Amino acid sequence: MIAAWPVVVRDRIVHAFKPGGSPAAEAPFRTLRRHEWVSQGVRVTLFADRGLAGQLTFFSSLNVVAARLARRGNAPAAARVARAAADLEAGPEFAVLRSLMSQLPDREAEQVVYGLLPENGSAALTEALRAIASRTEQVRANDILLSSPAEVVFAGRIAEVSDRFVLLVEMKGTTTMAPLWMAGAARRDRVGDFLALVADKLDGTSAVVEAVPAIDIDDPPGADGFSPFGRGDARTRSITADDARLLAGEPQSLQILVPVTIDG
């Protein structure tokens, strides 16, 4: 499967919380911190040719989800997802990524967080990001709210690039188009690149659509990712032609074995 890039900078989280404001603003991030709707992040010490070049803090992309939940007023879910982000950041996959990034020149390390791998980058770096992306998708698959209709993700490979648009194709063949400038801002504007479009619902007729870099990963393990619960797995509603023939008949009246009154 193709998954959204699993690490983000602070600005993405702020943007998800306050889409109309400045992503660099401090106050929204303090609010997220105060309510524990964002994790601590992972800090990497960067080096340049002449020595120490500063520190970079990056976060699990689950924090973007938590920020959206907080914006929608679901504080318990925001805190829950932020805790899941913190658990991921404390795990071995992030430790490996942090170690590899600390060995990169400062600019290349920053680019990794934005979705760009170094041209001569090691396979280990790619695998570290894949591992984090896989764990992230497992968390998303196991959480009911993260399959809410309020957030729609279209992740695929760029099949064509014109002077104004890119054509994005999902693994199952569905296609959509995104403006070239959006794909470029996500650092994914060449044929073969992986790109995700995330539609974040604001109200019944509007959404924020964000282009984010993506990465290809193995499908999450365990029951093929199937859950009988929730709204995210289309298999629970998808039927065969034989099923359709069965259902085409007139439904018979429902049976009620025990007379029951429901209060309220």
Partner 1 sequence: MTGWHIRPGSPGDRELLASFACADPAVRWQAEVEQFIQAQLTDWAFDPHADAGDPRLLLAFTAAGDLFGVAAHERVILQAGAGPGFPATKLEVVGVALKWQGRSFPTGERASDVLMSAVMTDVSSRVPPRDARVYAIVHEDNHRSLAVCRRHGLTEEMSRPHPSYRRIVTPHKEQ
Q: Which stretch binds partner 1 (CB under 8 A): 130-138, 182-190, 208-216, 218-226?
A: 218-226
R_g of the chain computed on alpha carbons? 21
In angstroms, what is the minimal distance from the CB of 247 to partner 1? Answer: 4
206 is a contact residue toward partner 1 (CB under 8 A): no
Return the residue of 20, 34, 173, 257 that touches partner 1, per CB under 8 A: 257
Distance between CA atoms of residues 75 and 241, nearest Å: 43
Burial bucket for residue 237 (CB in 10 Å: 0-12, 13-18, 19+): exposed
Within 53-112, which residues bind partner 1 (CB under 8 A)? Answer: 72, 74, 76-77
Return the residue of 173, 192, 221, 259 that touches partner 1, per CB under 8 A: 259
CA 22 to chain centre: 21
Return the residue of 201, 208, 209, 216 that touches partner 1, per CB under 8 A: 201
260 is a contact residue toward partner 1 (CB under 8 A): yes
221 is a contact residue toward partner 1 (CB under 8 A): no
- Residue 93 vs 200, nearer CB to partner 1: 200
Nearest one of 167, 204, 213, 244 to 7, comparing CA atoms: 213
The residues facing 3 across adjacent strands are 215
Residues contributing to the site for partner 1 (CB under 8 A)? 72, 74, 76-77, 143-145, 148-150, 201, 223-224, 226-231, 233, 235-264
